[in-house]
Amino acid sequence: MSILFQKRKAPAGRRVVVRKAGEVEKGKDACLSCAWQITLNEELVRISFSRDNLHVWITGHPADTIAHISDHNYDVDLYFEICPGYSGHIFSDVNNDRTAINNYLHVNGTLSAETVLTFEKNSEHFKNIRKGKR
């Protein structure tokens, strides 16, 4: 079953965004936030995503995603199918000081990778996060 037909109802305090693969919001470009390489079925798979556009790419191909947005638009859960038999979940968590983003990749419910992005206080990204812009 397509990911677009699953997980449409958001838990309390969250909103849901359904994003078809490759669809970009008007006036916005997709930019990469984080990427991981993992091995599934003895094959190397690259999973990358964009917090700004809620896009996920699997080895360069866009994936349909369901996004749950919470914590005053600072935290994002992205759900997607990696390949038959493997579901993906990325949790992207902005810290309370808005100076770092912890990104966690779960495959079939198990933590597979994590990355922490930090920002200088004078960076444009830091200013946008502090203002609540995405």
Q: How far apart are CA 93 and CA 36, in angstroms?
A: 17
Share of the chain above pLDDT 70, in %: 63
CATH of the domain at 88: 2.40.128.180
Domain presence at residue 18:
no
* Domain coverage including residue 74: 31-131
Domain presence at residue 1:
no
pLDDT tens readout for residues 66-102: 888 887 667 899 999 999 999 999 999 887 777 788 9
The gap from C-alpha 55 to its chain's centroid, in whole angstroms, comes to 7
Domain presence at residue 69:
yes
pLDDT of residue 117: 83
Domain presence at residue 14:
no
Angle at the Cα of 133 from the Cα atoms of 127 and 134, rounded to 5 degrees: 110
Q: Domain total for the chain?
A: 1
pLDDT tens readout for residues 38-54: 999 999 999 999 887 88
